[in-house]
Amino acid sequence: MHSDAANFQLNSHLTTLASIHKIHHTLHRLNLAEDVGQDSHPSACYSRAMPPRKKRRPSAGDDMSAKKSRQESVFRKHETSQIREEETFSSKRCLEWFYEYAGCDDVVGPEGIEKFCEDIGVEPENVVMLVLAWKLDAQSMGYFTLQEWLRGMGSLQCDSTERLRNSLDYLRSVLNDGTSFKLIYRYAFDFAREKDQRSLDLNTAKCMLGLLLGKTWPLFPVFNQFLEQSKYKVINKDQWCNVLEFSRTINLDLSNYDEDGAWPVLLDEFVEWYKERQMS
């Protein structure tokens, strides 16, 4: 009950944020216009504040000192405000960033994802996009919902293109952690499959395996060849998870593979096929 109440409260908050986005955006622009109007004629403001000049004027040194002090005060105030704005994550800024790609919808679709990838300088099929999707806990490939975006980008403290670009190296480094990699690998199966299917079609499975294991598992090219000539049309989750375990624990010459172990038939057949190739 507590979890349902928390989810209801979060969704209500996100809906409220989205509904007032345009109002915030308009107010933000009006504030900017007002600031520009106030600062566009500083000499006029100074002339109203200054008393009438007398014949005996202050020395040039006094004038310069006072002017310099005012300038430094304004600069320090502006600099402090700018640093605070740059260092602090802004939900409002993150929301505006989302709608750059979602348009009038509450979901970023394939076209928006393509533009998003272009802006951050990453190909859509790059593995870092899978890590990002995992961080956002995205449920469907090619789509980011408003809730996923705000929750995930909030955890990454990214509310702009520049901030996410600066976080790409971190996202890539996550793959080097064994525990995180296993979670991402398992997530990839559900992320990539059709939601009305329990298994992953073979072509999609091969692409995802290549993305995740292609550069780290020397036997992947051979295993990919086996899948291409096999009778299999889909890969189920048990097979998917065991392929990772196989790649981590079985020697490249397959010398420690136990045919009587609890491996799925798919891997028994791969080992048999591979050994026959080696012998011929």
Predicted confidence band of residue 56 (pLDDT cuts 50, 70, 90): low
Q: Which residues pair with 234 in a beta bridge?
A: 201
- The set of residues, in sequence order, having a beta carbon less than 8 Å from that of 101 and lying 6+ positions away, is 108, 112, 113, 115, 116
Q: Which residues pair with 144 in a beta bridge?
A: 108
- The answer, yes or no, to whether residue 64 has pLDDT greater than 90, is no
DSSP 213-238: HTTT-TTHHHHHHHHHHSS-SEE-HH
In a domain, 24, yes or no: no
- CA atoms of 237 and 255, how far apart (whole Å): 26
At which of 117, 150, 174 does a domain end?
174
pLDDT of residue 176: 96
pLDDT of residue 83: 43
- The answer, yes or no, to whether residue 55 has pLDDT greater than 80, is no
In a domain, 34, yes or no: no
- The answer, yes or no, to whether residue 110 has pLDDT greater than 70, is yes
pLDDT of residue 15: 55
- CA atoms of 79 and 190, how far apart (whole Å): 47
In a domain, 152, yes or no: yes
How many beta carbons lie within 10 A of that of residue 125, not counting itself? 11
State the average pLDDT over residues 148-156: 97
226-268 pLDDT, tens digit each: 999 999 999 999 999 999 999 999 999 999 999 888 999 999 9
- CA atoms of 86 and 197, how far apart (whole Å): 44
> For the whole model, what pTM was predicted?
0.70
Q: Are residues 167 and 192 in the same domain?
A: no
CATH of the domain at 99: 1.10.238.10
**Of the candidate ranges 14-18, 41-45, 262-266, the one whose mean pLDDT is the lowest:** 41-45
Q: Are residues 188 and 273 in the same domain?
A: yes
Q: Are residues 239 and 150 in the same domain?
A: no
In a domain, 225, yes or no: yes
In a domain, 51, yes or no: no
Q: Are residues 101 and 193 in the same domain?
A: no
State the average pLDDT over residues 115-140: 97
State the average pLDDT over residues 149-172: 97
Q: Which residue type, as a one-letter code, is found at position 193?
A: R
pLDDT of residue 57: 57
At which of 174, 205, 226 does a domain end?
174
Q: Are residues 185 and 167 in the same domain?
A: no
174-219 pLDDT, tens digit each: 999 999 999 999 999 999 999 899 999 999 999 999 999 999 999 9
How many structural domains are present in the chain?
2
Domain holding 217, by residue range, is 178-279
CATH of the domain at 202: 1.10.238.200
- CA atoms of 120 and 113, how far apart (whole Å): 11
Q: CA separation (Å) from 27 to 31, 97, 249?
A: 6, 17, 59
At which of 130, 147, 174 does a domain end?
174
Question: Which residue, among 190, 179, 274, has the nearest Cα to 235 in the 3D structure?
Answer: 190
- CA atoms of 221 and 226, how far apart (whole Å): 9
Question: Which residue, among 240, 244, 259, 145, has the nearest Cα to 198 in the 3D structure?
Answer: 240
Question: Residue 133, Cα to own-chain centre: how many angstroms?
Answer: 6
Listed in order, strand segments (DSSP E) in the chain are: 107-108, 144-145, 200-201, 234-235
Q: Are residues 223 and 249 in the same domain?
A: yes
State the average pLDDT over residues 63-90: 58
- CA atoms of 130 and 151, how far apart (whole Å): 16
Predicted confidence band of residue 19 (pLDDT cuts 50, 70, 90): low
- The answer, yes or no, to whether residue 23 has pLDDT greater than 70, is no
% the chain with pLDDT above 90: 65
Predicted confidence band of residue 62 (pLDDT cuts 50, 70, 90): low
- The answer, yes or no, to whether residue 10 has pLDDT greater than 70, is no
- The set of residues, in sequence order, having a beta carbon less than 8 Å from that of 121 and lying 6+ positions away, is 165
Q: Are residues 232 and 245 in the same domain?
A: yes
- CA atoms of 86 and 181, how far apart (whole Å): 31
Q: Are residues 147 and 228 in the same domain?
A: no
In a domain, 242, yes or no: yes
Q: Are residues 210 and 267 in the same domain?
A: yes
